[in-house]
Amino acid sequence: MPDTVTQSQAAPLVTFRPPAKTPSLFEQIRIARENGMATIPVGAYQNLFFPMAKNNKVVVLSDPAGVKHVLLDNVANYPKTPSDAPFLSAAFGDGLLTLEGEKWKAHRRLMSPSFDHRSIVSYAPGMVEATRHFVESWDQRGPGAEIDIAEAMTELTLKIITRAMFSSDSGGITELFGKTFDEGLKEMEFGLADILPIIGPRHLQGRIKKIRAVFSRLDSAVYKLIDERVKAGGEGKADLLGRLIAARDVETGAALTNQEIRDEMVIIFIAGHETTAVAMTFAFYILSQRPEVEARLHEELDRVLGGRMPVYDDLANLPYTRQVIDETMRLYPPAPGLSGRQAQADDEVCGQKIPKGAQMFIAPWIIHHHEKLWENPYEFDPDRFTADKVKARPRFAHMPFGGGPRVCIGASLAMTEACLILATIAQRYRLALVPNQQISIRSRITLRPHPGIRMTLSRRGS
């Protein structure tokens, strides 16, 4: 067990902070290509309501009560901004991420049973089994072996989501999904040509066409899986694909079409592995830099599990494990920015007049690092998430999965997966950061370390 160190002795964690003064336009464009969130002015971290244009036409909103108003209380007045829809639809089709109105409500009703408590409990054994097999592959490497933890966690979470969705690898579709997401993410990167007069709109249309082409490579494989499952009479199979095929709207009795199943599968597959992979990457990075946190985690795991594999029911007895995940997702939210919202009618938020057409930006990264919401916001402290502190804190001060009716449908699934992965790996291995690395953080659709995080493996107790 590592020696305990005080917070003041620990090395600062890699992060990015807001610029002290607003960069020039060209500097913002340069920074945005690497990390879009790094262009947000420091005032957004100091003011809960921060106008970025005259007359509140563009606002960065971090006030929990204001966020609740926009995402929950008056959500009908704030659909996603039209500019986001073409990119998201090109990649993911018409699913929960892109739909609006009554069609979104119908899809949400259809899919909710696949993510209820009973379903999540049924997925848990597969999560643990996949993680156990993955860790056993580390056993073959020998002490001191070096890995890129970002690559490793992506590989693991891809295996887990594949098992949850299809009960198996289904002919190499894991690699196909992973490659598609990586290529698609590159096409979604911001560039100077996107905002230039005249050529900007044409350039954007070209990028949308490329994104659609990248994701269309999935279609033949995905439709083949759907057709085979239906023909085999496997609609009732207890994986996500079987549940989506068998799902019926409780109000209308309608089922999802094959195209709708494809669109939802793509969203679930990509969101279901990427966000958890990001959280686990940063969790193990943090543990390597915070021995006092790692020691408390190990004590809890050793006391509760005693060396055996965790099961779902153990999670209730592993509060500190959950606190480590919650604080990791505060400091490094996997999805650092939400889609913008556009006011359909005049409104009032935080005592400020909001005109029709105004754009409201709600970013978990800013909220999670806001000076008025968190003490020492760039420090890692799992005790922020004790039950008493969570109860006392405003609901929308911590929102790694969004909020309101459109909160991520897989939030509970992702948290269960993250806690089980951490419990399985951390009781068997410690990971040490390879020294003298140049690590930075890139914020695009998700938060990723660049170029990765190299770590060495050490069996606990050896």
Task: Say which amino acid occupies 97.
Answer: L
pLDDT of residue 5: 33
Tokens read off for 271: 């969101």
| Residue 147 and residue 455 in contact, taking contact as beta carbons nearer than 8 Å | yes
Strand partners, 352: 349
Classify the phi-psi angles of 147: left when phi > 0, otherwise alpha if psi is within -120 to 50, otherwise beta.
beta
Higher pLDDT, 193 or 432: 432
Least confident among 104-108, 214-218, 363-367: 214-218
pTM: 0.90
pLDDT of residue 373: 97
Q: Reduced to 3 states, what is the DSSP secondary structure of residue 347?
A: strand
Q: What is the dihedral of CA 230, 235, 237, 242, to 10 degrees?
A: 90
pLDDT band at 4 (very low <50, low <70, confident <90, very high): very low
The position carrying tokens 């659609």 is 212
pLDDT of residue 29: 64
| Residue 332 and residue 275 in contact, taking contact as beta carbons nearer than 8 Å | no
Taking residues 342-362, what's their average pLDDT?
96
pLDDT band at 81 (very low <50, low <70, confident <90, very high): confident
Whole-number percent of the chain with pLDDT over 70: 90
- The pLDDT tens digits for 397-414 are 999 999 998 898 889 999
Least confident among 64-73, 191-200, 275-284, 297-306: 191-200
Taking residues 318-343, what's their average pLDDT?
94
- The pLDDT tens digits for 145-203 are 999 999 999 999 988 988 888 876 555 777 787 788 777 777 766 555 555 566 667 77
User: How far is Cα 88 from Cα 137, in angstroms, rounded to an integer?
Assistant: 36
Q: Output DSSP code: residue 56.
A: G
Q: What is the dihedral of CA 390, 396, 402, 404, to 10 degrees?
A: 110
pLDDT band at 334 (very low <50, low <70, confident <90, very high): very high
pLDDT of residue 191: 56
pLDDT of residue 215: 83
Please confirm whether the linkage preceding 435 is cis (ω < 30° from 0).
no
Whole-angstrom CA distances from 439 to 41, 110, 337 are 23, 42, 21
pLDDT at 278 over 90: yes
User: How far is Cα 321 from Cα 233, in angstroms, rounded to an integer?
Assistant: 40
Tokens read off for 86: 């073409």
Average pLDDT, the chain: 87
pLDDT band at 38 (very low <50, low <70, confident <90, very high): confident
Least confident among 59-68, 228-237, 444-453: 228-237
The burial class, CB within 10 Å (0-12 / 13-18 / 19+), for 177 is buried
pLDDT of residue 197: 63
Least confident among 176-180, 259-263, 287-291, 394-398: 176-180
pLDDT band at 39 (very low <50, low <70, confident <90, very high): confident
Taking residues 69-83, what's their average pLDDT?
91
| Residue 244 and residue 256 in contact, taking contact as beta carbons nearer than 8 Å | yes
pLDDT at 462 over 70: no
CA angle 211, 100, 364 (to 5 degrees): 75
Of 274, 238, 264, nearest to 124 by C-alpha is 238
pLDDT of residue 8: 37
pLDDT of residue 80: 87
pLDDT of residue 222: 84
First to last CA, the chain: 11
CA 41 to mean position of chain CA atoms? 24
Q: Which residues contact 256 (CB under 8 A, 6 or more apart)?
A: 107, 110, 244, 245, 247, 264
pLDDT of residue 269: 80
User: How far is Cα 125 from Cα 127, in angstroms, rounded to an integer?
Assistant: 5
Q: Which residues contact 164 (CB under 8 A, 6 or more apart)?
A: 123, 126, 127, 239, 240, 272, 413
DSSP string, 85-116: HHHHHHHH-SSTTT--HHHHHHHHHHHGGGGS
Helices (H), 188-236: 199-216, 219-231
CA torsion through residues 65, 326, 165, 220, sign: positive
pLDDT at 1 over 60: no
β pairing state of 49-51 and 58-61:
antiparallel
- The pLDDT tens digits for 100-140 are 888 888 889 888 888 899 999 999 999 999 999 999 999 99
User: How far is Cα 128 from Cα 315, in angstroms, rounded to an integer?
Assistant: 12
User: How far is Cα 390 from Cα 371, in angstroms, rounded to an integer?
Assistant: 18
User: How far is Cα 227 from Cα 94, in angstroms, rounded to an integer?
Assistant: 20
pLDDT of residue 7: 38
pLDDT of residue 69: 97
| Residue 458 and residue 144 in contact, taking contact as beta carbons nearer than 8 Å | yes
Q: Which of 108-112, 158-162, 289-293, 436-440 has the highest mean pLDDT?
A: 289-293
